[in-house]
Amino acid sequence: MTFPITKTNGGDLVPSARTFESGDYPVKTYKAQNGAEHRVLYGSNRTNMKLSLTYANIRDVDAEKFLDHYDEVQGTFKTFVLENVEGTDINPTCVGWEGNQDALGAGTPGTPGKDYRYEGPPQVAQVASGRSTVTVNLIGVL
């Protein structure tokens, strides 16, 4: 099952808010006996990227898709890709971002940092009858 990108009644499921933490390169810092600092770089890719997506005021049947997906990937265990809409190069999770999609770590599948896993369960808040706001927190993995 892919990450929810399509509404139940058609159309793209686009987040109303997005935050992204770019992570950092794996570095280990050591202090020598004389107090000098030494750093060792352990990789060439950023790790621990975080992406938070909020979908405000969506229908409950669309909010349920996020809960179903969370169960499908066994919570925080399995990874998944934020895919484009089939037959297009549009990634609904990035709609509104005018920079390169690879900057958000949500571009071409298979490239380091393009897979995600859940940081925790989706947060669902009912805002009206039949309407909810869903927030999902994701971690980019290599």
**DSSP labels, 28-79:** EEEE-TTS-EEEEE--SS-B-EEEEEEEEEEEHHHHHHHHHHHHHTTTTTS-
Number of domains present in the structure of the chain:
1
For all residues of the chain together, what is the average pLDDT?
Answer: 85
Say how far apart CA 37 and CA 91 lie, in whole Å. 42
pLDDT score of 63 more than 90: yes
Which residue's entry shows tokens 């669309």?
62
In a domain, 90, yes or no: yes
In a domain, 61, yes or no: yes
The per-residue pLDDT for range 72-115, each reduced to its tens digit, is: 999 999 998 887 777 777 677 777 777 766 666 644 444 555 78
Structure tokens at 67: 């809960």
The per-residue pLDDT for range 20-48, each reduced to its tens digit, is: 898 888 999 999 999 999 999 998 888 88
pLDDT at 92: 74
- How many CB atoms neighbour CB 89 within 10 A? 7
Contact in structure between 81 and 35 (CB atoms under 8 Å): no
Higher pLDDT residue, 96 or 12?
12
Say how far apart CA 17 and CA 85 lie, in whole Å. 19
pLDDT at 43: 87
In a domain, 49, yes or no: yes
Structure letter (DSSP) for residue 104: G
In a domain, 27, yes or no: yes
Question: Is the whole-model pTM more than 0.85?
Answer: no
pLDDT score of 8 more than 90: no
Contact in structure between 107 and 101 (CB atoms under 8 Å): yes
Write out the residue range of the structural domain in which residue 101 sits: 17-141
